[in-house]
Structure 1
Amino acid sequence: MKALVLSGGKGTRLHPLTYTNAKQLIPVANKPVLFYALEKIVAAGIYEIGIVVGDTREEIIAAVGDGRQFGEQVSISYIHQEQPLGLAHAVKLAQPFLQNDRFLMFLGDNFIEEPLGELVAHFAAPDCLDHAKVCLTRVEAPQQFGVALLSEEQERLVRVVEKPREPISDLAIVGVYLFDAHIFEAVNAIHPSARGELEITDAIQYLIDRGYRVSPHLLRGYWIDTGRMQDMLNANRTVLSQMQGALAPGVEIDERSCLYGEVVLEENVRLINSVVRGPSIIGRNVVLENTYIGPFTSIAHDTVVMNSEIEHSIILEGCTIQAIGGRIEDSLIGRHTQIYPTQGRPGAHRLLLGDHSSIGLMSA
């Protein structure tokens, strides 16, 4: 089998951060979201991977490269989608790469817990009767998702609807699919939706209407679509909750600093009169001075934090944060941002900042 990873979206729900970042490369626990998807695919035994890229293709290619960082057997091909014209359009563009092979399709900004090896092995088996398999999960607000209705025996999909006003079920379509070559018949037959896109839900419904077997797979464990700031923070919290503490070479911790719980300190981190409470991860070459870092915080490399408190936040690389009165919490801060004090006394700060921002906050 092959895999198709979609990484061409504009990430409008994470503006302004994604004006200058590919949304799939925003880090969760100091690792790009896209990398978690690629690791899942490789762990499932798929090594030939096509990545659909758009406006941020150069950034994606620079980060992923030829794929060897994910395993010696891995081969990456890049497929350029000039405009984000829908998931089914991406499948259509990828037909020369996929040919007639069965394949796994994974949305590059989705985050799942369940291993995919068993699912992939079943679909790849010669005796598999499914023409497609769609991963589903139960949600509280199905009107925000593509939704599936199952047959009475719960073994087939009988209807799919994209963001219905009146939900037909609480089963949301997750961004993980398996298809055989019949999907190309579908994507070449459907027409653009009202928003001008070729919808994958329309392609799936085409298969259903023509009697192809489309079966469900109800995901075990969490699923997070990391399209919004709170989703990113939730994913970060989830990953950090599963990490074990570790100290890399070159870490310096003075006698006035303390670590509590599961804390990961990467290479050449310096702690000066600071407290880090896990689960948290501090990236390489980070300096913390007179600072408190609370649980569920990720700080990327080459950042300096002084005289400040941060908790339940994601800080991207190269930031300078100093002398903040009050605590930064529930925040996602872009690369090379400077945060510094002005006059006055604030409460906690809630921030979503784009790259190269410079913001003045009132000091204590």
Structure 2
Amino acid sequence: MKAVVLAGGEGTRLRPLTFTRPKPMLPLGPNPIIHYVLSHLSSNGFHDVILIVGYLKDQLMGYLGDGSRFGVRITYVVEPEGVAFGTAGSLKLAAHLLDETFLVVQSDTISEISLTEMVHFHLDRGGEVSIALTEVEDPSLYGIAVLGKREEIVKFLEKPVPGTALSNLASTGFYILEPDVVDYIEDEKWDFARDLFPYLMRVGEHLFGFASKSFWVDVGELKGYLRGAGWVLGKLDQDPPTDSRALGNSKPRVFVRGNIRMGQRVQISGPSWLDNDAKIEDDVKIRPGTVLEEDSQIRSGTFLDQTVTFRHTEIGSNCSVKSTIIGERAIVGDNVTIDSAIIGQGCTLGDRAKILPGSRLWPNTRVEADATVDGIMAVPRDKSFYFDTGLGLYSGILASSIGEFLEALKIVPLESLEYHIGRRDFEKWTKDVLGSIQLADNIRTLRRSQSKGEELRHQLV
């Protein structure tokens, strides 16, 4: 059976890291995300892979080649530039290759779900579609399925309003489809959960849910990415890279590759991964789930917990960094505190800066000494939102962060709010520039309510 891997997206939820790398090429321990996606397919007997690529495709294609080192054969299908494809819509590009039952896989999903068992389930049920499902704590973040007899899906809801979900069984992004399903896809922008699956149910096709309790995580956002990294690190003891070695005898293990320089009284708890030329000075404490990529420099007295640093990063003395990703060539000063944030490539953080949870700094952003970043995503001026009151009529107000955007909504003229929400400008900017799909979805719901005047302002703020 062929497997189709969807790898053409821009990775907006992990921006700014994905400005320079496609999401499947972001490091997740010793290897990029796509390494673990293809290894999972190969170990489940899927050796014929169709990879749909688009955004920054050359990096993916250069790394994967023909797929032979992963035990698979890769056929590439390239999305044309300038066309926005939905997850289901992109299948139309590969329709000529899909002449039998096939599997669809997302390129940002790490899982132990048995795809072999899922195939047996699909063949036994005899439906058009089988969807792998898993139980989740917050159904409002996912496509949710309600099952009836013989696990047939009787209702499918995309991101139900909190507290209204009739099930906690979420789609994992693993689908088995019959080839004629592709004929139902009417538009290249169609999404599986939002468009295709509800449509198939309306026309009477049968969809079944394969519920699994095996490990699964969407690594396309910060929390999931760090959880995925923890899963990878936890597996190193069973299958470490051939060029790595264990550091000491602690359990869980700390694995290293190449030359690592460490000072005195360093405490490292596994599972963790340290790559070549990492330098760790005196009295550093590293907690589980931490990854230091090549040439990462950690100065004395710093504390790292569940943190991933990309190549050539520098973290100063006496810092505290928790649940954070730091992009390549970022420089962090002394006594800096960072919690649950994404620091973009080439950023510079001054001494004693505080980066609070939820913050994201765009590439090459400079944070001054003693400054506090509170949920602000710094955006370059050419990416700022300029509030107009009509076509070509600038109001004199712009926003370069979520904070500035929310403040601007309180003061811009009402005609500006009505102008931009009618053109869907707010949705596009929050999704494409800020990378906040949830905020864009909330604004879309508000637009459809057709609120006007001060009521619109109140709802937006």
Report the TM-score when normalising by structure 1.
0.85
Secondary structure of 2:209's partner? strand
1:301 aligns with 2:294: yes
Q: How much does 1:6 deviate?
A: 0.8
Match of 2:171 in 1: 173
Taking structure 1 as reference, are residues 95 and 281 closer, same or farther at Cα in structure 2, changes over 3 Å only?
Answer: same
Q: Which has the higher contact order (CA 8 A, sep 6+)?
A: 1
Task: Report the Cα distance in structure 2 between the residues aligned to 1:236 and 1:42, rounded to whole angstroms.
Answer: 20
1:88 aligns with 2:111: no
Could you list the per-position Cα deviations for residues 234-293 of structure 1 after superposition, in whole angstroms to 9, with x for gaps in the alignment?
22223323432979769798xxx9966411111222333233221111112322232332
Q: Is the 8 A contact 2:246 2:255 kept in 1?
A: no
Partner amino acid for 1:358?
T
1:203 aligns with 2:199: no
Q: Is the 8 A contact 2:298 2:316 kept in 1?
A: yes
Secondary structure of 1:204's partner? helix
Gaps of 5+ in 1: none
Task: Report the Cα distance in structure 2 between the residues aligned to 1:107 and 1:272, rounded to whole angstroms.
Answer: 42
Q: How much does 1:347 deviate?
A: 5.0
Q: How much does 1:21 deviate?
A: 2.3
Match of 1:217 among 207, 210, 214: 210
Match of 2:308 among 306, 314, 321: 314
More displaced 10-residue stretch of structure 1: 263-272 or 203-212: 203-212
Secondary structure of 1:91's partner? helix
Q: How much does 1:81 deviate?
A: 4.9
Structure (1/2) with the larger strand percentage: 1
Match of 2:233 in 1: 240
Match of 1:162 in 2: 158
Match of 1:150 among 147, 152, 168: 147
1:131 aligns with 2:122: no
Match of 2:28 in 1: 28
Task: Report the Cα distance in structure 1 between the residues aligned to 2:4 and 2:288, rounded to whole angstroms.
Answer: 35
Q: Is the 8 A contact 2:87 2:190 kept in 1?
A: yes
Taking structure 1 as reference, are residues 252 and 130 closer, same or farther at Cα in structure 2, changes over 3 Å only?
Answer: closer
Q: Is the 8 A contact 2:118 2:132 kept in 1?
A: no
Match of 2:436 in 1: none
Taking structure 1 as reference, are residues 338 and 177 closer, same or farther at Cα in structure 2, changes over 3 Å only?
Answer: same
Taking structure 1 as reference, are residues 263 and 208 closer, same or farther at Cα in structure 2, changes over 3 Å only?
Answer: same
Q: How much does 1:328 deviate?
A: 1.4
Q: Is the 8 A contact 1:297 1:314 kept in 2?
A: yes
Q: Is the 8 A contact 1:9 1:84 kept in 2?
A: no
Secondary structure of 1:38's partner? helix
1:41 aligns with 2:66: no
Match of 1:282 among 259, 263, 274: 274
More displaced 10-residue stretch of structure 1: 259-268 or 47-56: 259-268
Q: How much does 1:3 deviate?
A: 0.8
Q: How much does 1:295 deviate?
A: 1.5
Q: How much does 1:74 deviate?
A: 2.6
Taking structure 1 as reference, are residues 26 and 170 closer, same or farther at Cα in structure 2, changes over 3 Å only?
Answer: same
- Identical aligned pairs, as a percentage? 25
Q: Is the 8 A contact 1:50 1:76 kept in 2?
A: yes
Q: How much does 1:113 deviate?
A: 2.3
Structure (1/2) with the larger helix percentage: 2
Match of 2:255 among 259, 264, 267: 264
> How many corresponding residue pairs?
346
Q: Is the 8 A contact 1:50 1:79 kept in 2?
A: no
Q: CA RMSD in A?
A: 2.8
Match of 2:378 in 1: none
Task: Report the Cα distance in structure 2 between the residues aligned to 1:244 and 1:112, rounded to whole angstroms.
Answer: 18
